[in-house]
Amino acid sequence: MLEVRTVRLREIRLPLREPFRISSGVTHDRRILLVQLVDGNGREAWGECVAGETPAYSAETIDTARLVLREWLVPRLLGGPIAEPAAVSPMLDAGVRGHRMAKAALEMACWVLEAECRGVALAALLGGTREVIEVGISLGIQPTPADLAARATAAAAEGYRRIKLKIQPGADVAFVEAVRAVVGPDLPLSVDANAAYALADAAHLARLDRFGLVMLEQPLDADDLRRHALLQRQLATPLCLDESITSAARAEDALELDSARIVNVKPGRVGGFLAARAIHDLCARRGVPVWCGGMLESGIGRAHNVALAALPNFTLPGDLSPSRRYWARDIVSPEWTMSADGRVAVPLTQPGLGVAVDLNRVDDLTVHLEERHA
């Protein structure tokens, strides 16, 4: 039984080492909403809301998430005993449509609290079986093909197992061509459009087929499964869906329509670990590979993603870059690192997250704090 007595909502400002550009905008500093749970025995657990500052990636923002958490979600969690973490999602969903990122922050923290109570690793509690996970890197849009090729060369030298290139109209084919030329034919490459294209661009996108890409991720609007299916018929490159996949039912629709042959699972996007595991299991039954994407998380969110990516059908490298990729200093200890051959170790011997939250660092970065008690 879980019994949450205190919930703290903290907004921190974590500056990126360098701006990160995708088709929908540029991020310089990451506003991050953290959730801290405390139970009756003083045990603590942390969650992270992955919503951005603007409604570009999804309709949710950090500000809407804070409002929904404060007014509707946190009060439901406080006080009464909760039988198991799997009961949290249905409780938060009742009468509250959407707001999956806000819900995920609480739900995922409850899984961490359960792991702490049991004295087991979060990955083990979720059903993870992998001891190490292959790591991919996501490279933002660069000014020129040569700039992107230089970054890809450096990433390959660091040992990353897959390189993902952000693309948009006007920064696509020539950029991918430049990267493939410098990294060679064997290094796995993928591209991510973040819904920047239309079905009318099919012939242009088909020019990417000659680069032997692992996938073309989310080329069209998130709401449009039908046009993704029509696009897939015109491409040899497998389509992967990200923003479109918000639930197991939505994933099932995408697979039935052949809108996606690979699925990007982000637990924060789909409402938490319960939904993420359901999508993983569905895709495993269908023989569809999944991988874990990133949302510029801090080390807390990275811990959640690593734990999830330990499940057996996460067979493609995830966007699980080490802490130093994004932050001069992370908020966990030890910081997340990557081996020379591009792998991250799953902390299966430590209970809970597997890393400690650096509370002094969090306090220094906090710009807003509020708490509720049972």
Instruction: Specify whether the backbone of 287 is left (phi greater than 0), alpha (psi in -120 to 50) or beta.
Output: left
Which of 30, 103, 166, 277 is flagged as catalytic?
166
Count of beta carbons in the 10 Å neighbourhood of residue 24: 17
- Rounded Cα distance, 52 and 31, in Å: 7
Respond yes or no: is residue 164 known to be catalytic.
no
- Rounded Cα distance, 114 and 107, in Å: 11
Which of 228, 266, 277, 343 is flagged as catalytic?
266
Nearest Cα to 36, choosing from 53, 48, 20, 21? 48
Report helix angle 145-158 to 173-183, nearest 10: 40
Give residue for tokens 């595991």: 277
Judge contact between 151 and 21, C-beta under 8 A.
no
Count of beta carbons in the 10 Å neighbourhood of residue 10: 19
Judge contact between 246 and 98, C-beta under 8 A.
no
E strands, the chain, where?
A: 4-22, 25-39, 44-49, 132-139, 162-166, 189-192, 216-217, 239-241, 262-265, 290-292, 318-319, 332-333, 343-345, 356-357, 366-373
- Rounded Cα distance, 227 and 263, in Å: 17
CA angle 294, 296, 297 (to 5 degrees): 85
Q: Which residues pair with 47 in a beta bridge?
A: 35
- SS3 sequence of 271-329: CCHHHHHHHHHHHHHHCCCEEECCCCCCHHHHHHHHHHHCCCCECCCEECCCHHHHECC
Q: 230: part of which helix (H) or strand (E)?
A: helix 225-232
What is the SS3 assignment for 47? strand
> Which residues does the annotation mark as catalytic?
166, 266
